[in-house]
Structure 1
């Protein structure tokens, strides 16, 4: 079972500058490789390496592993785009939207996330620091903070790549952990869960998980955004930017808390969980 653990980095100003320069360099390189892939119509990882690998190292001064990760990031992005095209997610063939998407290469933001493998990134769990490759050289003793549970999971199960992420002025590492699969047993019945708006979830044993608090926060934030947008001052724009993900984080935390309560109850009683989905014309269908 794959699980991701996000830890917050606490870099010094010099380390933060090196991380920022690194993200900018690898994403500039990714945009250049993307343009090359689009123009040459070369989207397979192996084929694109032959066209771009040497030039990336010369143009942007990237290490060998970083250059390979840049190429893989580009091929993965185009694989996702082509899957969306096949599934019709960007419009029907011949539509203006589809033609617009296909006409331009993928562009990577200067601060887009970048994967690092164990050759570019090493963890010192006891010291709570990491050593990470940057375009300014190897940055050692970059501090990070994590909960006791996160540290335990990282120490026991971390495996594979970790993504360097810059968001809202903060630095994060998102590490992949490979946990052993939990043995599957036959449930003793099912706990039905009906999803809604007024009540986020209602179980068939009569337990209601209310969405009243979440809806109140959404209403309050909507009114606050309206007032700040009307003011349109620099301070209002700063506050809007600061709060832009706060509501989403609160909603995610609320949903996660409710989900954990339902899973805990189902585990305690040995039951499985069945979601009750209302389908117009068919009544209630349980999946």
Structure 2
């Protein structure tokens, strides 16, 4: 089967930068009309311009990936655009590496809202349409923190473990509907996901404990390296891959 997304509409959340932007660019190159969802208007429209200048098709949808009204508007835009067949739940934020004993309610609730609620709500919103359209593919961004305990703080680690569970449940329950759900688990990636965190807020004591684990990481990835895997999972070439949690960490998880 060809690695093609021709004549399909794909929603990519958090597509205004980083992995989301790289994924949107490659999906458009493969023929998809990509709905560029991001809370940053400037970032979203920059991605649309990059894709348009390359001859691809993209439309911006500005909003909060965890807000139901914004989600409904994005899904409606996708349905008006064409045959909705794919969703990439990429939007997410980091924590400050704090363990549970030093994680504030504010941090916990913000990380869970953006990292977990957005994935759940987008999945819930698109599943009926994917089924109606004959099937489709959902790709969630998990993390090395979703399969190990020392890659981040308590909030981020819990949020990415939640994504792993949601991915597996959705995959199995909807396998008979021709809807596949998989997750990619990156290690370090050179994106701006850390830019929103003040380095002075990092939990130094926790990072001292987890430092030896971080030191085993082989290298950081580029966003386009993740995009290659994500877009492959969106296509029919990955027709028998469902419920997989795929590390893309340069071998870190093998340590």
**TM-score, scaled to structure 1:** 0.23
Higher Rg of the two aligned structures: 1
When you count strand as a share of all residues, which structure comes out higher? 1
